[in-house]
């Protein structure tokens, strides 16, 4: 069992290094972000030490694909999300601002919409 664990730990460490390099971070930067000595972080990338759940959460907040690190599979957003993101990226600054203003307005209206639906359903 320890051979499997060692092999898996090395695979995870390799993917951890791959993500760090993909995002352009140094080992020192990530070690500082995680609050661990650089040597310990290097051991994690080498597969000689486990990366904690706490560390994964912090890495995720920096753009690391944690699903990829753990499983080797990339997160695959649904087609609608990809289309929205593609179209959003093509917008001008004014267009993006309009999108955010619309989202803010919808969030403010949402409680009213919910109460209207509940009231309608209660009368039926």
- Domains delineated in the chain: 2-71 (1.10.260.40), 79-123 (no CATH)
Residues 6+ apart with CB under 8 A from 50: 9, 44
Please compute the mean of the pLDDT values over residues 5-33 and round it to a whole number: 94
Is 15 or 120 the better-scoring residue by pLDDT?
Answer: 15
For residue 81, the model assigns a pLDDT of 80
Whether residue 31 has pLDDT greater than 90: yes
Structure tokens at 110: 């949402």
Could you give the residue ranges of the DSSP H alpha helices within the chain? Answer: 2-23, 27-34, 38-46, 53-61, 66-71, 79-90, 93-123
> What is the per-residue pLDDT across 77-92, written as a single tens digit (0 to 9) for each?
677 788 888 899 999 9
For the question of whether the overall pTM of this predicted structure is more than 0.85, the answer is: no
For the residues of 53-77, what is the DSSP string, one character each?
HHHHHHHHHTT--HHHHHHS-----
Cβ(29)–Cβ(22) under 8 Å?
A: no
The C-alpha atoms of residue 8 and residue 41 are separated, in whole angstroms, by 17
């Amino acid at each position: 069992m320890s051979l499997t664990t060692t092999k898996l730990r090395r695979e995870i460490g390799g993917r951890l290094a791959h993500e760090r390099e993909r995002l352009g971070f140094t080992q020192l930067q990530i070690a500082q972000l995680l609050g661990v000595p650089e040597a310990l972080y290097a051991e994690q990338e080498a597969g000689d030490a486990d990366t904690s759940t706490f560390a994964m959460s912090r890495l995720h907040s920096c753009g690391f694909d944690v699903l990829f690190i753990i499983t080797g599979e990339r997160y695959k957003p649904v087609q609608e999300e990809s289309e929205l993101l593609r179209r959003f990226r093509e917008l001008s600054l004014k267009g993006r601002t309009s999108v955010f203003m619309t989202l803010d307005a919808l969030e403010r209206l949402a409680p009213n919409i919910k109460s209207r639906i509940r009231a309608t359903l209660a009368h039926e």
